[in-house]
Amino acid sequence: MAADGKEIRVEQLSEGQLDALIEAQNRIFEDYIIQIRSSRQFFMDFLRSVGGDLREVIVSMDGDQIVGYVCPVIDGDEAWIGGLGVLPSHRRRGIGTRLMLAAEEKCRSKGVREVTLEVIEGNDLAKRFYEKLGYAGSRRYLTAEGRPARFEGFGQMPEPATQAEIVRMHARSYADTCWQKRTVHAIMSSARGAERYKVDGGFVLLRVVETNAFIPFLGVLPEKRRTGVATSLTRFALNRLWNLGAFKVTVYNVNEDLPTLRLLDMFDFKVTMKEIEMKKNMAGK
């Protein structure tokens, strides 16, 4: 094993290294702030949902062992870091920094002007690490959990929606939200396995996996906000999930703004995790 980070090679993930990458991820995240268990399916589904490409993954190699990786996801002139980590045995040797610099170099060479990433609140070490690299916090997102419930009367009764209708409404209602949630890949991959409903001015997607329910998207068009659309879509969704036999409902990456907090509170959802969005401008560096 290399005594410092110098003999560590930083290179593109090569074909045939996927299983080794998954194994490395599981060791990297063993002591992580939340539990993560990767698998081929988990990682490929994740990549698909954010529009990522396995060929963009960069790894650090100690001999023939993967000891770190970074997964940049490039979309036009923006990019997002969809995962970074170094094996516990190899930390504090500059490998994380080298991986990030290699990812930024790749982004820059493809015309990216801004890189975004998220850090779980409480992962202070990672936050400081990114600050040292020039990233600054921009806002926070929440994960929250609640329960399905019976409701009657939803105002405007939602109707099943086509994928194309959802994609159109998503583009307008999620324009200014978190990176993963506003990419068209995210909505396409969520919509595939979910029930889709629309009303005049908004839409909701819901899905049940065993007894866990998810509301991957609930969007209201800008001109229809503050008219009760979100409340009635939420009532409808929670009632539908009750009928589908779910016990628990999770929502990920919701904005931490007043209307959203009020909505969560109204339906007795509890915040379980906060994520800090951080950004770095690539111009002129």
Which parts of this chain interact with ligand COA (CB under 6 A)?
A: 28, 32, 84-86, 91-97, 119, 123, 125-126, 128-129, 132
- C-alpha torsion sign, points 259, 260, 265, 271: negative
Residue with smaller CB distance to ligand COA, 129 or 242 = 129
* Cross-sheet strand order for the sheet of 78-86: 9-12, 58-62, 65-75, 78-86, 114-120, 270-281, 136-146, 248-255, 212-220, 202-209, 195-199, 159-160
Give φ, ψ of 13 to 5 degrees: -60, 135
> CB 275 → ligand COA: shortest distance, Å?
9
Residue with smaller CB distance to ligand COA, 29 or 242 = 29
Rounded CA gap, 184 and 27, in Å?
A: 31
Residue with smaller CB distance to ligand COA, 28 or 102 = 28
Residue with smaller CB distance to ligand COA, 125 or 175 = 125
> CB 87 → ligand COA: shortest distance, Å?
8
> Which has the closest alpha carbon to 122: 280, 278, 279, 276?
276
> Which has the closest alpha carbon to 117: 255, 276, 282?
276
Q: Cα dist. 17→20, 40, 62, 279 in Å?
A: 5, 11, 14, 30
DSSP state of 14: P
205 by Cβ neighbours in 10 Å (0-12 / 13-18 / 19+) ranks as buried
> CB 83 → ligand COA: shortest distance, Å?
7
Residue with smaller CB distance to ligand COA, 56 or 275 = 275
Q: Decide: 220 and 172 in contact? Cβ < 8 Å.
A: no
> CB 208 → ligand COA: shortest distance, Å?
29
How crowded is the C-beta side of 58, counted as CA atoms within 13 Å?
23
Residue with smaller CB distance to ligand COA, 28 or 237 = 28
Residue with smaller CB distance to ligand COA, 65 or 123 = 123
Residue with smaller CB distance to ligand COA, 117 or 204 = 117
> CB 86 → ligand COA: shortest distance, Å?
4
> Which has the closest alpha carbon to 203: 150, 164, 254, 245?
164
> CB 198 → ligand COA: shortest distance, Å?
35
Amino acid letter for position 251: V
> CB 11 → ligand COA: shortest distance, Å?
16
- Through-space distance between the first and last CA atoms of the chain, rounded to whole angstroms: 33
> CB 62 → ligand COA: shortest distance, Å?
12
CB closest to ligand COA, residue no: 96
